């Protein structure tokens, strides 16, 4: 659906050339929700502008649904952009127009008949949950409602790809979750391909199928969300994964530095899929006759499945500890010895 091959983008500044996107290769399949995560300056926004033709790559190719966006010009580019819509961080609504008029705007530009516009606007208002707000102006809406208008407007011309540039970063956590649920619902109902730019791993965890991690213009890690969460390879990815433990203010993040390390070996267990339902700790306690002290645990849901993390302390060293680790490995449980 979306294929980037050796894509680079260099800007020429007064201080010299700046490479915002550096030799990026990417594949996004039809119907996927694909997350691209990175901190400010990583090159995410430039990358998304390359996807809709607002920027041209310095080198490489950008192909969407078989069309080379990087080479398209004039009418060909305009027609391609009709199938690639954008949702913005700060909504970008027309403040002098009502909800219905904002949604209708892109249809009017595309030259759709008035009757068709009226029908389509009503369909979209129902889809994004804004019934009763048709005649309200943006100033009368909450942040979440404004973003729903932005999403409805982006869907007006039946796009094949929806680009979301930090679409939830201006919203509070509860509203963010509601908007993410809406995007997930739209993806399921319309089979729409969604590319989501963010700096929040919670957003990726909640709705994305795959994720690419960007740093200094390059993709440093990529894969299924569940795999990246359970086995992050790069320091920046581990930093993002740590965000999810701190996302909820109701949860106090676990600090392994506070453990009494004189009481035995400390193990961090990562369970995936069905293993999250197995009484592994109980079985080990019975087998070895050694109590396992549970220090901390949590379960996390992704679109690819569930994984759990469990921190244990056990009075075992040497060969006894090696046997325990072998048993855990036999159950396909990833184990890290934090302290022995």
Residues 48, 29: Cα–Cα separation, whole Å:
16
Write down the mean pLDDT value for the chain: 88
Question: Do the domain assignments include residue 241?
Answer: yes
Better-predicted residue by pLDDT, 79 or 30: 30
Q: How many domains does the chain have?
A: 2
Give me the pLDDT at residue 274, please: 63
For residues 184-212, give the mean pLDDT: 94
* pLDDT exceeds 80 at position 187: yes
CATH code, domain carrying 321: 3.30.70.260
Are residues 187 and 97 part of one domain?
yes
Give me the pLDDT at residue 250, please: 44
Are residues 98 and 61 part of one domain?
yes
Are residues 273 and 153 part of one domain?
no
For residues 259-279, give the mean pLDDT: 73
Are residues 288 and 220 part of one domain?
no
Question: Do the domain assignments include residue 251?
Answer: no
Beta bridge partners of 98: none
Confidence of residue 255 (pLDDT cuts 50, 70, 90): low
Residue with tokens 């403040």: 95
- Could you report the per-residue pLDDT of 240-249, keeping only the tens digit for each? 987 765 554 4
Total residue length of the chain: 340
Question: Do the domain assignments include residue 180?
Answer: yes
Are residues 175 and 33 part of one domain?
yes
* pLDDT exceeds 80 at position 251: no
Are residues 118 and 22 part of one domain?
yes
Domain boundary among 182, 216, 246: 246
Out of 173-187, 217-231, 307-321, least confident range: 307-321
For residues 46-60, give the mean pLDDT: 93
Are residues 226 and 95 part of one domain?
yes
Q: What is the DSSP annotation of 215-232?
A: ETTEEEEEEEHHHHHHS-
* pLDDT exceeds 90 at position 181: yes
Question: Do the domain assignments include residue 157?
Answer: yes
For residues 73-83, give the mean pLDDT: 84
Domain span at residue 81? Answer: 2-246
Are residues 80 and 24 part of one domain?
yes
For residues 201-210, give the mean pLDDT: 92
Are residues 100 and 27 part of one domain?
yes
Question: Do the domain assignments include residue 17?
Answer: yes
Are residues 150 and 241 part of one domain?
yes
pTM for the model? 0.81
Give me the pLDDT at residue 39, please: 93
Q: What is the DSSP annotation of 73-114?
A: -HHHHHHHHHTEEEE-TT----TTS-HHHHHHHHHHHTT--H
Are residues 333 and 269 part of one domain?
yes
Domain boundary among 246, 274, 304: 246
Q: What is the DSSP annotation of 304-317?
A: TEEEEEEEEEES--
Are residues 261 and 222 part of one domain?
no
Domain boundary among 218, 246, 274: 246
- Could you report the per-residue pLDDT of 109-134, keeping only the tens digit for each? 889 999 999 999 999 999 999 999 99
Confidence of residue 302 (pLDDT cuts 50, 70, 90): confident
Question: Do the domain assignments include residue 56?
Answer: yes
Residues 205, 47: Cα–Cα separation, whole Å:
21
For residues 71-78, give the mean pLDDT: 85
CATH code, domain carrying 42: 3.40.50.300
């Amino acid at each position: 659906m979306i294929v980037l091959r050796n894509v680079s983008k260099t800007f020429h500044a007064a201080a010299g050339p700046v490479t915002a996107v550096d030799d990026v290769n990417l594949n996004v399949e039809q119907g996927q929700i694909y997350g691209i995560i990175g901190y400010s300056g990583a090159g995410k926004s430039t990358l998304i502008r390359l996807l809709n033709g607002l920027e041209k790559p310095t080198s490489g190719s950008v192909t969407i649904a078989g069309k080379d966006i990087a080479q398209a010009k004039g009418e060909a580019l305009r027609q391609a952009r009709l199938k690639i819509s954008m949702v913005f961080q700060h909504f970008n609504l027309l403040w002098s127009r009502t909800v219905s008029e904002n949604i209708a705007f892109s249809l009017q530009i595309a030259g759709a008949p008035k009757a068709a516009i009226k029908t389509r606007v009503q369909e979209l208002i129902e889809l994004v949950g804004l019934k009763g707000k048709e005649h309200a102006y943006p100033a009368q809406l909450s942040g979440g409602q404004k973003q729903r208008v932005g999403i409805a407007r982006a869907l007006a011309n039946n796009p094949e790809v929806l680009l979301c540039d930090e679409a939830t970063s201006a919203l509070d956590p509860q509203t963010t979750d509601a908007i993410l649920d809406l995007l997930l619902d739209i993806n399921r109902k319309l089979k729409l391909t969604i590319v989501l730019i963010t700096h929040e791993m919670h957003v990726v965890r909640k709705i994305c199928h795959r994720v690419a991690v960007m740093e200094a213009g390059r993709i440093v890690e990529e894969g299924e969300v569940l795999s990246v969460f359970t086995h992050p390879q790069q320091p920046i990815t581990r930093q993002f994964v740590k965000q999810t433990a701190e996302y909820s203010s109701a949860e106090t993040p676990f600090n392994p530095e506070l453990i009494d390390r004189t009481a035995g070996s400390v193990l961090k267990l990562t369970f995936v899929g069905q293993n999250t339902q197995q009484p592994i700790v109980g079985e080990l306690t019975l087998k070895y006759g050694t109590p396992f002290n549970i220090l901390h645990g949590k379960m996390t849901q992704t679109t690819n499945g569930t994984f759990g993390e469990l921190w244990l302390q056990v009075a075992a060293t040497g060969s006894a500890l090696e046997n325990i680790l072998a048993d855990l490995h036999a159950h396909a449980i990833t184990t890290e010895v934090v302290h022995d």
